[in-house]
């Protein structure tokens, strides 16, 4: 199959319909089952690698990589794999995801509202977190490879250049050239370092930058020298190109675009957290800048970047350690000082010596309980009062350089509110007070801690005073 297929062409159990996309590495066709009695559960597409005389070996290697990853990384954020051909007749049949790519969004409006950018960015970060949990790094993230489903939620596409911790890295073994889309790849990818999830976060920064400004932060270089400029040349601050970009969004973008991976977000979950809690973003000078760094600082960075030891590494044996989000459920009613102090100590232990871990302090307010004496407070007044309460509770915790955020949840079901928060924000550890009732009573009444411990999507630490 060296040329584009015509409608009606049959490959194994499938008949080709129209061609949807012609890319540099593959063709994508709508297909249906050849057997008229066999009806697909969802629309299907077939991806066929280009294998003409001038096409590179990476096309066929990418086909093998994508086949293996789609089979392993199942979930709501990747297309469902239906069938795959062999090397003699290579193809992939998968779910046709209905929606718009981020590239479509950019084509419709090069600049987007900051809140809409944050919403879309959070969807993509959640998808990346799901992918990384399955030990896969995408490594070719760009607007054309992100689909926003019609019913909301992001789906990642095109895994031909990806990396899986449990599979042989065919691209690293077979090719020693830079592979990827040059405008979006991270500095470490340029020198052959694959398998770092933070490379995908760099690409996220490029996407968010383009959505804010309508421009690519490093242009679209086509040479190795042009690519290597991102080792030392920082992009212009988005606020310099678009004064409407808020400082919190610039802070997030430029943190993603740090040339050294250790200075970026440590995980996609932490990026998604900031994009979902904009009032909690810690804005530094990075987020406030409206001009570039100037000639002399740029020269110094060039000297440092040129001397940096950027060398291709061996294949990483495992994913980078996960950096936890630790949530402490702080009760605001009938809580003794001994219990509150025990929660502080547990929070310190939960953060431990994990650089980059985040502490999220949360409390749940039950509607109708916003009364102080004889005065009924408004929801805003109650919210502000409870934020002050959480900050006061946390002020004696020595958190070092860890980020701390404060969250007031409102619900008549305290346990469900905590569970929903933990699931939505990819919390790794929930710390909360243990029930004070005896075991006999707990068998009859499912207390809030017991409900959370039984249903939580993560580890739960129950603390006694």
As annotated, the active-site residues are 140
Distances, alpha carbon 457 to alpha carbons 134, 273, 279, 413, in Å: 16, 17, 25, 17
> Do 250 and 282 form a contact (C-beta atoms < 8 A)?
no
Separation of alpha carbons 112 and 208, rounded Å: 10
The alpha-helical segments, DSSP class H, found in 352-424 are: 379-394, 414-424
Check: CB of residue 5 under 8 Å from CB of residue 27.
yes
Rounded-to-integer distance, Cα 166 and Cα 68, Å: 10
Edge-to-edge strand ranges of the sheet holding 81-84: 10-11, 14-22, 26-33, 44-49, 92-95, 81-84
Phi and psi at residue 19, to the nearest 5°: -85, 125
Number of helices followed by number of strands (H, E) in the chain = 17, 18
Taking Cα atoms as reference points, which of 452, 393, 387 lies closest to residue 418? 452
C-beta of residue 212 within 8 angstroms of C-beta of residue 256 = no
**For residue 11, how many C-alpha atoms fall within 13 Å in the half-sphere facing its CB?**
24
Residue position matching structure tokens 């790094």? 137
Evaluate whether 404 touches 282 at the Cβ level (below 8 Å). no
Comparing CA positions, the residue from 370, 367, 458, 380 lying closest to residue 420 is 458
- What is the rounded distance in angstroms from the CA atom of residue 149 to the CA atom of residue 152? 5
């Amino acid at each position: 199959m060296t040329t584009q297929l015509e409608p009606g062409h049959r490959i194994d159990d499938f008949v080709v319909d129209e061609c949807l996309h012609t890319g540099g590495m593959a063709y994508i066709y709508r297909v249906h089952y050849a057997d008229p009695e066999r009806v697909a559960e969802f629309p299907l597409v077939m991806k066929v690698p280009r294998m003409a005389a001038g096409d590179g070996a990476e096309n066929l290697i990418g086909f093998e990589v994508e086949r293996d990853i789609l089979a392993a990384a199942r979930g709501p954020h990747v297309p469902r794999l239906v069938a795959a051909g062999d090397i003699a007749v290579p193809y992939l049949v998968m779910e046709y995801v209905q929606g718009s790519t981020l590239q479509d969004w950019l084509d419709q409006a090069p600049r987007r509202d900051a809140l809409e950018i944050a919403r879309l960015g959070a969807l993509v970060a959640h998808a990346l977190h799901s992918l990384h949990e399955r030990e896969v790094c995408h490594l070719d993230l760009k607007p054309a490879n992100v689909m926003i489903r019609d019913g909301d939620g992001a789906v990642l596409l095109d895994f031909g250049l990806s990396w899986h911790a449990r599979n042989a890295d065919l691209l690293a073994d077979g090719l020693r050239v830079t592979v990827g889309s040059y405008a979006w790849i991270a500095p470490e990818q340029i020198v052959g370092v694959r398998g770092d999830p933070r490379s995908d976060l760099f690409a996220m920064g490029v996407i968010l930058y383009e959505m804010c400004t309508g421009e690519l932060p490093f242009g679209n270089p086509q040479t190795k020298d042009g690519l290597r400029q991102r080792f030392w040349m920082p992009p212009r601050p988005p606020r310099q190109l678009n004064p409407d970009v808020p400082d919190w969004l610039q802070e997030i973008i430029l943190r993603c675009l740090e040339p050294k991976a250790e200075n970026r977000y440590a995980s996609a979950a932490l990026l998604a957290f900031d994009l979902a809690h904009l009032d909690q973003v810690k804005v530094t000078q990075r987020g406030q800048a409206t001009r570039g760094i100037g000639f002399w600082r740029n020269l110094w960075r060039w000297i440092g970047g040129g001397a940096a030891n950027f060398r291709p590494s061996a294949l990483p044996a495992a994913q980078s350690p996960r950096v936890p989000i630790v949530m402490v459920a702080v009760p605001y009613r009938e809580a003794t000082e001994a219990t509150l102090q025990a929660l502080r100590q547990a929070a310190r232990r939960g953060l431990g010596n994990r650089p980059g871990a985040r502490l999220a302090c949360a409390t749940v307010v039950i509607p109708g309980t916003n009364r102080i004496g004889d005065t009924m407070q408004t929801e805003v007044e109650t919210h502000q009062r409870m934020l002050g309460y959480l900050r006061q509770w946390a002020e004696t915790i020595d958190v070092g350089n860890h980020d701390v955020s404060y969250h007031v949840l409102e619900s008549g079901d305290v346990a469900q509110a905590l569970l929903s928060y933990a699931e939505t924000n990819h919390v790794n550890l929930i710390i909360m007070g243990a029930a004070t009732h005896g075991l006999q009573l707990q068998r009859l009444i499912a207390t809030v801690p017991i409900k959370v411990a039984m249903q939580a999507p993560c580890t739960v630490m129950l603390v006694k005073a």
